[in-house]
A and B are shown apart, each in its own frame.
Chain A
Amino acid sequence: ASYVTVMAAADGWFTALAVGVSLLKCLFINAYRSTDFEVHRNWLAITHSLPVSRWYYENTSEWTLDYPPLFAWFEFGLSHVGRHFDKNMLQIQKAPYESDATLLFQRLSVICTDLVYILATRECCRCVSEQKSSRDILNRPSFVLAVLLLFNFGLLIVDHIHFQYNGFLMGFLLLSVAKHLQSKHLQGALLFSILLNLKHIYLYVAPAYGVFLLRSYCFTKDHSDGRLNWRSFSLLRFSALGLIVLLVTAVSFGPFIAMGQMPQVLSRLFPFKRGLCHAYWAPNAWALYNAADKALTVLGLRLGLVGSGPQASMTGGLVQEFHHTALPSISPTVTLLCTALAILPAVLFLMWRPRCSASFLRALVLCALGSFLFGWHVHEKAVLLAILPLSVLAVQSREDAGIFLVLASTGHYSLFPLIFTAAELPLKFLLMLLFSVFSFSSLHKLSSLLCALERWYLCGLGLVCVTSELLLPLSTVSARLPFLPLLLTSVYCAVGVAYCFIRVYGSLLRTNYKIKAS
């Protein structure tokens, strides 16, 4: 009976947090929104007014459907609710359409579908071990985790100000992670394959998933020292997994295969015509590479080594493809190779070392970070893919908490340029400050300290923030070099993200030793 009351009390604070964050999201309804708002409006229109066979061919608006079919079905479902708000938003048209009812509906749709995310958070909180049953709720790891996930700064601004459905998708990811942690592998696999068919960006973390499932589910036994027992492979389990994945994929892509539209669908899903980097460089290895190229070019011009060739402004936004001047240009194949190389050790580790849920999460984070660092045309929002799973680790281990603090600060700060309107400036500073203060204070309470280097780096981040958000835009430099703040931000953050990538590798290596010893 006492267990029940404890659970009821736990549910009490969780509901309060969830209601609080949902109401907070409602306050952003009238805030700035990006073109993604129109993108999703257009998808609602496409899926509502066209037959399935036309979905991936429609191109009246420039915002064509480029998510996998399940997401299109999701929009189809939404459009039937949206019909009752404003019929006009379901008309396909070239010019952006907006009305109060559309705004309300779209914002509410994000807030409501975030229920999946809230559910996932609750599942994750249940997986967190409560070694020290401290009486104060505020110090409990599950409470800290709930706040870190629900009030995640990145998700708040990307979903509820910038406008996207990441919360909904991340919900699936975390839910499947939680299922795996609870050893309900089939449910986890089902959720993950649904997720892959909702948004294919999650292919980034698929290697970790595949290997983990193979290792922990398909192989039923380990040797006594924790090594993999090759002979314990269970064909039944393997085929069950395969069946689930194939079924989900068949439901989603089946109709398009039947109609022979696969090449068209794939060309929409993987547009390699876009450039190496997004208009605003995501803070990854290529940002560093581009910056080095720029620096070398400028240096070369000064020294007269390079002729003054055509100067493509790499950050010009509209320029889709560009060529490096001083360093060799990068092709998609190279990025693919680099990503594979970055991920490979983590995946191999997961395979050879004893099964362990923490190392699964670390491999997941590594896959996300590896592809973020080396991927082709990476979006800065993709860093959330690493930050969210890492928060689950952060409340449980001292070392990961340190990494989380660095990565969350860097990654979240790198999202700042997404919201550039003056009215939202105080909002993003305040939200970021609140999140950082909470994460630093609560995680420090649980354990973990940053080393001096990291502390200096984070102080520097504050300086960069002030410089590029306040000083540079107000000074005269901004007229001559309009992209300097962005360049500064992405280069500085890239260093931090890369550092975290290496640190997570270190923590992955160390976990396994610990488990072996025990």
Chain B
Amino acid sequence: AAKPPMFGDYEAQRHWQEVTYSLPLQQYFNTSDNDLNYWGLDYPPLTAYHSLLCAYAKAINPEWVELHKSRGYESYAHKLFMRATLVADLLIYLPAVVLYCLYLSDGSPRKKVSVLLCTLLYPGLILIDYGHFGRYNGVSLGLALWAILALGLGWDALGSMFFCLALSYKQMELYHALPFFCYLLGKCFKQGSVGKLFLLVRISLAVLLTLALCWLPFLTDPSLAVQVLRRIFPVARGLFEDKVANAWCSLNVFIKIRSIMSSDSQVYLLPSSLRLLTKPTFWQFKLALVNSSLAFFLFSYQVHEKSILLASPACLLLNDLPLIAIWLLQTSTFMLPLFLKDDLWAPYCVTSVAFLYFSVYLLSPLKRCTEEELRMGAYRKILFCLPKLDLGCVVRWKFYISVLAMAALSVASVTMSPPPHLPDLFPVLISTFAFLHFLGTFLYFNIVQFSEPQRNKAQKKIN
């Protein structure tokens, strides 16, 4: 699927199997017999264990994981095997989605099934995990979803355990850590003084125990743990990985400011987190999850374009804010350059069209977008000078135009060749386009989080 000498994510996965199988645990993350510049393991321990488990496929064909000799190995059978390992993805992600949609989304059974179907159709995850072969995102997202599920059902300790597992599978889950933390902390404060302490102790015990279990083999030697941490959080990598649709990249197009990056994503995160801390409801929690992943994606250091997958908690909002959720999810799938590299254009088109068509058909978001349903009351207050026009209608038209623009850009970047002096025209256009959308959605969700919250919900309950 890729070219030497580095190949792609597929080779990374295979290489990790090779390393974890052949080397002792202490050497996973250091350079004694392990060239870390060649796809060195840079994910937390659970990924390493998972690779080790997969590596027992040596029983089928020892060539697959032979140390040093198997680099760039590819064959039909091996491809099949690697695809088969994605079952892990399904086993964790699928039940979580099903349970979430059945238990935690409200509405008629039919509605629940519709939401379930749309969530499963989310093209970003399908394409990255099953098309691009991108490192089992389903596992970490699935674990995080299990955590959300547990929190939603009120099992806080269990939820935090699941989240620790997700975190030890992929450090990228840190994007979601702050909302989890704030939600649980806020919940503790709400309790009575005894319950407060008890809950806090229970949760922290659960967290510490889970983390300790996952990291146990690496904790024997402090230097080893530091090594691992250094691998996992590389500050040494460049700011840009390809053309990532984040603020730095877009700004760079206009004013080359590779060096003036001082601001911290935490700043952008704060409002939403503080709000959650003072008002720890599940609804706020869901919004905060989306907000924090968007904030991290937009403003943090060294972002991979696939990280936008972490915005997939937007799936949780499919039921409440269908139009915006669909919009955000569709835009997050718009990583066209990556798919073109992998020859995934056709699957990209098919899954995107399927997602758009079925979500619009099943959830009828275009009929559910009055100002009130979009929770745009706050906009009225902020933009008081605005002439009287139907904001719902404006949003709808913006949605149409942006979908059309996405379609046009998709077609153009395949059929037309860019002018010679602007070879990166389409990738840059795409990332700017996506950035604007993410920024807009980020602002919108923040405003929703702060605006008068549960009016609709209260009405529904009365009905």
Binding site for B on A (CB under 8 A): 12, 16, 19-20, 23, 26-27, 29-30, 104, 422-423
Q: Among the listed A12, A27, A423, which residue makes an inter-chain contact with B350, where contact means beta carbons less than 8 Å apart?
A: A27
Give the complex CA separation of A12 and B357 in angstroms: 12
**B358: interface (CB < 8 Å):** yes
Q: Are B361 and A16 in contact (CB under 8 A)?
A: yes
Residues A29 and B346 in contact in the complex (CB < 8 Å), given A20-B354, A423-B80: yes
B-chain residues with CB within 8 Å of residue A30 when the two chains form the complex: 346
**B353: interface (CB < 8 Å):** yes
Residues A23 and B350 in contact in the complex (CB < 8 Å), given A422-B80, A423-B80: yes
B-chain residues with CB within 8 Å of residue A422 when the two chains form the complex: 76-77, 80
Residues A104 and B346 in contact in the complex (CB < 8 Å), given A12-B361, A20-B358, A423-B80: yes
A-chain residues with CB within 8 Å of residue B354 when the two chains form the complex: 19-20, 23
Separation in Å of the B432 CB from the closest CB of chain A? 29
A-chain residues with CB within 8 Å of residue B353 when the two chains form the complex: 23
* Chain B residue at smallest Cβ distance from A137: B110
Q: What count of chain B residues pass the 8 Å CB interface test? A: 14
* Chain A residue at smallest Cβ distance from B353: A23
A-chain residues with CB within 8 Å of residue B358 when the two chains form the complex: 16, 20
A-chain residues with CB within 8 Å of residue B440 when the two chains form the complex: none
Pairs A–B under 8 Å by Cβ, sample size 22: A12-B361, A16-B357, A16-B358, A16-B361, A19-B354, A19-B357, A20-B358, A23-B350, A23-B353, A23-B357, A26-B346, A26-B349, A26-B350, A27-B347, A30-B346, A104-B346, A422-B76, A422-B77, A422-B80, A423-B76, A423-B79, A423-B83
Separation in Å of the A393 CB from the closest CB of chain B? 29
1/0 contact string of B347-365 vs chain A (CB within 8 Å): 1011001100110010000
Give the complex CA separation of A20 and B355 in angstroms: 10
B-chain residues with CB within 8 Å of residue A12 when the two chains form the complex: 361
Give the complex CA separation of A12 and B346 in angstroms: 26
Give the complex CA separation of A104 and B80 in angstroms: 23
Give the complex CA separation of A26 and B344 in angstroms: 12
* Chain A residue at smallest Cβ distance from B83: A423
Give the complex CA separation of A29 and B354 in angstroms: 16
Separation in Å of the B309 CB from the closest CB of chain A? 20
B-chain residues with CB within 8 Å of residue A29 when the two chains form the complex: 346
Separation in Å of the A335 CB from the closest CB of chain B? 40
Give the complex CA separation of A12 and B367 in angstroms: 15
* Chain A residue at smallest Cβ distance from B347: A27
* Chain B residue at smallest Cβ distance from A107: B346
* Chain A residue at smallest Cβ distance from B79: A423
Separation in Å of the B116 CB from the closest CB of chain A? 15
Given contacts A16-B361, A30-B346, 18 further A-B contacts (CB under 8 A): A12-B361, A19-B354, A19-B357, A20-B358, A23-B353, A23-B354, A23-B357, A26-B349, A26-B350, A27-B350, A29-B346, A104-B346, A422-B76, A422-B77, A422-B80, A423-B76, A423-B80, A423-B83
* Chain B residue at smallest Cβ distance from A100: B343
Give the complex CA separation of A12 and B80 in angstroms: 38
- 4 nearest A-B residue pairs (beta carbon): A26-B350, A23-B354, A23-B350, A16-B361
1/0 contact string of B326-354 vs chain A (CB within 8 Å): 00000000000000000000110110011
A-chain residues with CB within 8 Å of residue B357 when the two chains form the complex: 16, 19, 23
Give the complex CA separation of A349 and B149 in angstroms: 62
* Chain A residue at smallest Cβ distance from B346: A29
A-chain residues with CB within 8 Å of residue B346 when the two chains form the complex: 26, 29-30, 104
Give the complex CA separation of A262 and B347 in angstroms: 46
B-chain residues with CB within 8 Å of residue A20 when the two chains form the complex: 354, 358
Give the complex CA separation of A508 and B147 in angstroms: 58
CB proximity to A under 8 Å, residues B30-87: 76-77, 79-80, 83
Give the complex CA separation of A26 and B347 in angstroms: 8
Give the complex CA separation of A422 and B357 in angstroms: 32
* Chain B residue at smallest Cβ distance from A426: B84
Give the complex CA separation of A19 and B354 in angstroms: 8
Give the complex CA separation of A104 and B349 in angstroms: 13
Give the complex CA separation of A195 and B347 in angstroms: 33
* Chain A residue at smallest Cβ distance from B350: A26
Give the complex CA separation of A399 and B79 in angstroms: 46
Separation in Å of the A284 CB from the closest CB of chain B? 34
CB proximity to A under 8 Å, residues B204-224: none
A-chain residues with CB within 8 Å of residue B80 when the two chains form the complex: 422-423
Separation in Å of the B140 CB from the closest CB of chain A? 24
A-chain residues with CB within 8 Å of residue B77 when the two chains form the complex: 422
Separation in Å of the A252 CB from the closest CB of chain B? 36
Give the complex CA separation of A29 and B358 in angstroms: 21
Separation in Å of the A418 CB from the closest CB of chain B? 19
Give the complex CA separation of A19 and B362 in angstroms: 13
B-chain residues with CB within 8 Å of residue A27 when the two chains form the complex: 347, 350
* Chain B residue at smallest Cβ distance from A13: B361
Separation in Å of the B185 CB from the closest CB of chain A? 44
B-chain residues with CB within 8 Å of residue A19 when the two chains form the complex: 354, 357
Separation in Å of the B72 CB from the closest CB of chain A? 21
Separation in Å of the B59 CB from the closest CB of chain A? 14
Separation in Å of the A322 CB from the closest CB of chain B? 34
Give the complex CA separation of A423 and B84 in angstroms: 10
Separation in Å of the A135 CB from the closest CB of chain B? 11
A-chain residues with CB within 8 Å of residue B361 when the two chains form the complex: 12, 16
Separation in Å of the B115 CB from the closest CB of chain A? 16
B-chain residues with CB within 8 Å of residue A16 when the two chains form the complex: 357-358, 361
Give the complex CA separation of A79 and B331 in angstroms: 37
Give the complex CA separation of A26 and B77 in angstroms: 24
Separation in Å of the A373 CB from the closest CB of chain B? 37
Give the complex CA separation of A30 and B342 in angstroms: 13
